[in-house]
Amino acid sequence: MNQQLHNGETSPHPGLAASTARHYPRAWQRPEVDRILHRDEHLFHEGESLTRAYVVVSGILKSYVIDEDGREQIIGFHMAGDTIGFEAVAGCPAASSVQALNTTSVRRISEAGAGNRTESTNQAVLLGMYQEMLRLTRTLQMERRSLEQRLAVFLIDFGERQARAGCSRNEFLLPMGRKDLARHLGLAPETLSRVFSRFRNRGILNVDDNHVTVLDPGALRLVAGHWDSPSARHSGNMSG
Amino acid sequence: MNQQLHNGETSPHPGLAASTARHYPRAWQRPEVDRILHRDEHLFHEGESLTRAYVVVSGILKSYVIDEDGREQIIGFHMAGDTIGFEAVAGCPAASSVQALNTTSVRRISEAGAGNRTESTNQAVLLGMYQEMLRLTRTLQMERRSLEQRLAVFLIDFGERQARAGCSRNEFLLPMGRKDLARHLGLAPETLSRVFSRFRNRGILNVDDNHVTVLDPGALRLVAGHWDSPSARHSGNMSG
DNA sequence: CGAGTGTTTGAACCCTCTCAAAACCTGTGG
DNA sequence: CCACAGGTTTTGAGAGGGTTCAAACACTCG
């Protein structure tokens, strides 16, 4: 259930986001790019009818929905290797809007229409949607946890993804602004800032604007996994 | 919490029932029921490998996950017409545990294994997963709202489902206990009780144990759609 | 250099949780 | 039918976490 956290191993290259552009996953030698989006550009909007699904080649996007009072709810961030737009395969309208946070390249991976689908495509899509549902479920659980834990889990998870892309697990450039990150985590930007400061004061990490260095991964993991929140004190087995 | 709330599209898609009907084997007992669960009985557990998906014929179930500190997180309630266990078709382990809250009957609708799948089954499953993702997204949004709005939205949605089942929209019996409902809405049982009392004192509804009567649907809708929660006061344009 | 935006910090407020106890419902046995 | 024990729901009081408001900084862009 929890994400694997391999520790100790420091990445050979202390590469930051700048190097992200060069480090494509090996699986696609010379990745074919079908579209390049610039900062703030949308890949598609919520409700739009989709014809293709996409895989992110480089860069980062956010997916979000706007609720009835105009507030933006960030569902998730999508980085190299992530697939978005499963709705296309199901023939359904886009469930969320997807917007690039930086210059981002994507590749189309699927055609709409039942006749076009192979069994393996179907399997891949089902698997992708399944994982998306797991991710949403995890996000949902995060909502009920303390700020500190939410941020810690996010940072660890982000580090994992960085590591998978060949970059450092413990030193990276957050590609999104504080406001986006705060909204994703479901808290006020001021509060996010405060938690960052708290972590810095405790020596857990160093943060200079978007440049984050995790100094004490163990402590961070401790915050992520166990917390002294009031709810933990009393709860035993409450299955009803 | 079905396809009703978010985008008001009346589904142009056939839905699951059509593709399912032709598959269902004529069963030994009641034609349409393959399994009956009693109170607290599980349909399946998280992580279990599934072979079938199910549609709820009558009764109610909850799906939940247990997080690392042993607390139960209720993902959703499932009532007549809802489909659960899409994971089976994707060949993935169950993403959550599903347990009956009352006597509940379900029907199997799909066989596992790639060879067994027809195109229409695939389409139905994709659609179902898509709707499940929409539901999760909506649930996620609910988390960021005030207690009162959360409960109001839940009650309205529940009323809608009741109405669709031919019952009254404004008077119904909540099939789950306070604890389950509270956990689903992400709050303490005491707090839920308080919100119920507040609603009653304002004349919005009457609640006698599980018997809920909505006296002022307009007011309830007002609470659900617009709210005086702290977060709404200041937020204007926050895009980008 | 000034305007505008984004980040940090500080102080006060309020919502929700926890803890504690009373009221209620339910089933059991006298 | 009533008394009693168990769980569940309600109510009350206090504490804490997170938000809002407000202002100081930092950084980019014209």
- So what's the pLDDT on residue A127? 86
How far apart are alpha carbons A207 and A199 in whole angstroms?
9
> For B184-204, what is the mean pLDDT?
95
Q: Read off the DSSP letter of residue B11.
A: P
Phi, psi (rounded to 5 degrees) for A106: -135, 160
- So what's the pLDDT on residue B28? 46
Rg (CA), chain A: 19
Q: How many CB atoms lie within 10 A of CB A191?
A: 14
Confidence of residue B87 (pLDDT cuts 50, 70, 90): confident
A34 part of contact set with chain B, CB < 8 Å: no
Residue type, A88: A
Assigned token pair, A25: 């996953």
- So what's the pLDDT on residue A218? 94
- Residues from chain B that touch A133, judged by Cβ atoms under 8 A, are 95, 129, 132-133, 136
Spanning CA of B190 to C1' of C21, the rounded length in angstroms is 13
- Residues from chain A that touch B228, judged by Cβ atoms under 8 A, are none
Residue A101: which residues within 8 A CB-CB, separation 6 or more?
A39, A40, A59, A60, A61, A62, A77, A175, A176, A180
Spanning CA of A209 to C1' of D23, the rounded length in angstroms is 20
Query: Residue A226's closest chain B neighbor by CA?
Result: B69
Residue type, B130: Y
> For B53-76, what is the mean pLDDT?
88
The single residue listed with the structure tokens 């899409």 is: B86
Which residue(s) pair with A78 in the sheet? A61
Q: Name all protein residues with C-beta less than 7 A from any atom of nucleic acid chain D.
A: A 146-148, 186-188, 190-191, 194, 209, 229-230, 240; B 177-179, 189-190, 192-194, 196-197, 207, 209-210, 230-231, 233-235
With CA atoms as reference, report the closest residue to B13 among A87, A118, A53.
A87
How far apart are alpha carbons B44 and B53 in whole angstroms?
11
Contact indicator for A59, A202 with CB cutoff of 8 Å: no
Contact indicator for A109, A53 with CB cutoff of 8 Å: yes
User: Does B107 have pLDDT greater than 70?
Assistant: yes
Residue B153: which residues within 8 A CB-CB, separation 6 or more?
B142, B145, B224
Query: What SS3 class is residue A229?
Result: coil
- Please measure the distance between the N-terminal and C-terminal CA atoms of chain A and give it in whole angstroms: 23
With CA atoms as reference, report the closest residue to B77 among B188, B225, B182.
B182
A14 part of contact set with chain B, CB < 8 Å: no
Q: Read off the DSSP letter of residue B4.
A: T
**Residues of chain A below pLDDT 70:** 1-31, 110-119, 226-240
Taking every pair of Cα atoms in chain B, the longest distance, rounded to a whole number of angstroms, is 61
The single residue listed with the structure tokens 């994507």 is: A106
- So what's the pLDDT on residue A10? 33
Q: Determine the protein residue whose CA lies at the shortest distance from the C1' of C16.
A: B191
- So what's the pLDDT on residue A122? 73
User: Above pLDDT 70, what percent of chain B?
Assistant: 76
Q: Read off the DSSP letter of residue A51.
A: S
Say which residue, A228 or B88, is predicted with more confidence: B88
Q: Name all protein residues with C-beta less than 7 A from any atom of nucleic acid chain C.
A: A 177-179, 189-190, 192-194, 196-197, 207, 209, 230-231, 233-235; B 146-148, 186-188, 190-191, 209, 229-230, 240
- So what's the pLDDT on residue A190? 95
Residues B127, A90: C-beta atoms closer than 8 Å: yes
User: Closest nucleotide (CA of A148 to C1')?
Assistant: D17
Identify the helix (H) or strand (E) that includes residue A218: helix A217-225
Confidence of residue B232 (pLDDT cuts 50, 70, 90): very low
- So what's the pLDDT on residue B126? 83
- pTM value? 0.78
- So what's the pLDDT on residue A155? 95
User: Above pLDDT 90, what percent of chain B?
Assistant: 48
Contact indicator for B160, B4 with CB cutoff of 8 Å: yes
B218 part of contact set with chain A, CB < 8 Å: no
Confidence of residue B16 (pLDDT cuts 50, 70, 90): very low
The single residue listed with the structure tokens 């308080």 is: B194
Contact indicator for A86, A131 with CB cutoff of 8 Å: no
